[in-house]
A and B are shown apart, each in its own frame.
Chain A
Amino acid sequence: MMKIAVCVKSVPDPEYYEKITLDPATKRLVRDGIPAVIGEADRHALEAALALRDENGGEITVVSMGPPAARRQLLEALAMGADRAFLISDRKVGGADTLATSYTLSCLLAKTGTYDVILAGNESADGSTAHVPSQLGVWMGIAHAAGVVSVSSDDKGLIVTKEAEGGLAKYRLRTPCVVAVTPKANEVRFMDVRNILAAKEKELQVWSAADVGNMDESFMGLAGSPSQNGEVFAIESSKNCRMLTGTESEIADQIVSIISGNSKGGEEA
Chain B
Amino acid sequence: MWYMNEDREMLQKSFHEYAVKRVRPLAQKMEDEDASSREALLEMGRLGMFTMPVPPENGGTGPDYISWSLLLEEMGRESATFGFLTLLRQVFNGPLQVSCSREQIEKFVIPAVNGEILIGLAGNEPAGGNNLFEYQTRAVKDGDEWVINGGKVLVTQADEVDVFMVIALTKDQIDFRTMEGMDVFFVPTSDPGFSVGHIEHKVGLNGSRTGSVYFDNCRVPESYRMPYPMALLMGFGPELSGYASLTLGACEKMIEQTAAYLKNRIQMGRSLWDAHQAARHDLAKLKMEVLNFRNAVYGHMANRNAGIHDSIEAGALKAASGPLMEKVAGECMMLMGGTGVIHETGIEMYYRDAKALEIACFSDKTFVDTVAATL
Q: Is this pair of chains taken from one and the same complex?
A: yes
Interface residues of A (CB under 8 A from B): 72, 75-76, 79, 190-197, 199-200
B10 and A199 contact, CB distance less than 8 A: yes
Give the distance to chain A from B57, nearest Cβ to Cβ, in Å.
15
Q: Which 8 A-B pairs have the closest CB atoms?
A: A193-B48, A191-B14, A194-B48, A192-B48, A196-B10, A192-B47, A79-B10, A197-B61
Choice from A72, A76, A193, A197 contacting B47 with Cβ under 8 Å: A193
Which residues of chain A are within 8 angstroms of B49 by Cβ–Cβ distance?
Answer: 193
Choice from B10, B17, B47 contacting A75 with Cβ under 8 Å: B10
Choice from B6, B10, B18, B62 contacting A190 with Cβ under 8 Å: B18
Interface: B51 (CB within 8 A): yes
Distance in angstroms between the alpha carbons of A195 and B17 in the assembled complex: 16
Can you offer 5 A-B residue contacts whose CB atoms are under 8 A? A190-B14, A190-B21, A195-B48, A196-B7, A200-B6
Interface: B52 (CB within 8 A): yes
Which residues of chain B are within 8 angstroms of A200 by Cβ–Cβ distance?
Answer: 6-7
Choice from B11, B18, B43, B62 contacting A196 with Cβ under 8 Å: B11
Choice from B10, B43, B51, B52 contacting A76 with Cβ under 8 Å: B10
Known: A196-B14, A197-B61. A190 touches B7 (CB 8 A): no
Which residues of chain A are within 8 angstroms of B47 by Cβ–Cβ distance?
Answer: 190-193
Q: How large is the interface on B (under 10, 10 to 19, 20 to 34, 35 or more residues)?
A: 10 to 19
Which residues of chain A are within 8 angstroms of B61 by Cβ–Cβ distance?
Answer: 193-194, 197
Give the distance to chain A from B158, nearest Cβ to Cβ, in Å.
28
B6 and A72 contact, CB distance less than 8 A: yes
Which residue of chain A has its CB nearest to the CB of B46?
A: A192
A193 and B6 contact, CB distance less than 8 A: no
Known: A190-B14, A190-B17. A75 touches B6 (CB 8 A): yes
- For window 37-83 of B, CB contacts with A under 8 Å fall at 43, 47-49, 51-52, 61-62
- For window 6-36 of B, CB contacts with A under 8 Å fall at 6-7, 10-11, 13-14, 17-18, 21
Distance in angstroms between the alpha carbons of A2 and B14 in the assembled complex: 27
Which residue of chain A has its CB nearest to the CB of B11?
A: A196
Which residues of chain B are within 8 angstroms of A193 by Cβ–Cβ distance?
Answer: 11, 14, 47-49, 51-52, 61
Give the distance to chain A from B369, nearest Cβ to Cβ, in Å.
38
Which residues of chain A are within 8 angstroms of B51 by Cβ–Cβ distance?
Answer: 193-194
Distance in angstroms between the alpha carbons of A192 and B43 in the assembled complex: 10
Give the distance to chain A from B252, nearest Cβ to Cβ, in Å.
18
Which residues of chain A are within 8 angstroms of B13 by Cβ–Cβ distance?
Answer: 191
Which residues of chain A are within 8 angstroms of B18 by Cβ–Cβ distance?
Answer: 190
Which residue of chain B has its CB nearest to the CB of A76?
A: B10
Which residues of chain B are within 8 angstroms of A192 by Cβ–Cβ distance?
Answer: 47-48
Give the distance to chain A from B191, nearest Cβ to Cβ, in Å.
32
Give the distance to chain B from A188, nearest Cβ to Cβ, in Å.
9
Which residues of chain A are within 8 angstroms of B52 by Cβ–Cβ distance?
Answer: 193
Distance in angstroms between the alpha carbons of A197 and B52 in the assembled complex: 11
Which residues of chain B are within 8 angstroms of A72 by Cβ–Cβ distance?
Answer: 6
Distance in angstroms between the alpha carbons of A106 and B48 in the assembled complex: 36
Distance in angstroms between the alpha carbons of A199 and B7 in the assembled complex: 9
Q: Which of A76, A190, A191 has the most CB of B within 10 A?
A: A190
Which residues of chain A are within 8 angstroms of B6 by Cβ–Cβ distance?
Answer: 72, 75, 200
Which residues of chain A are within 8 angstroms of B48 by Cβ–Cβ distance?
Answer: 192-195
Which residue of chain B has its CB nearest to the CB of A37?
A: B13
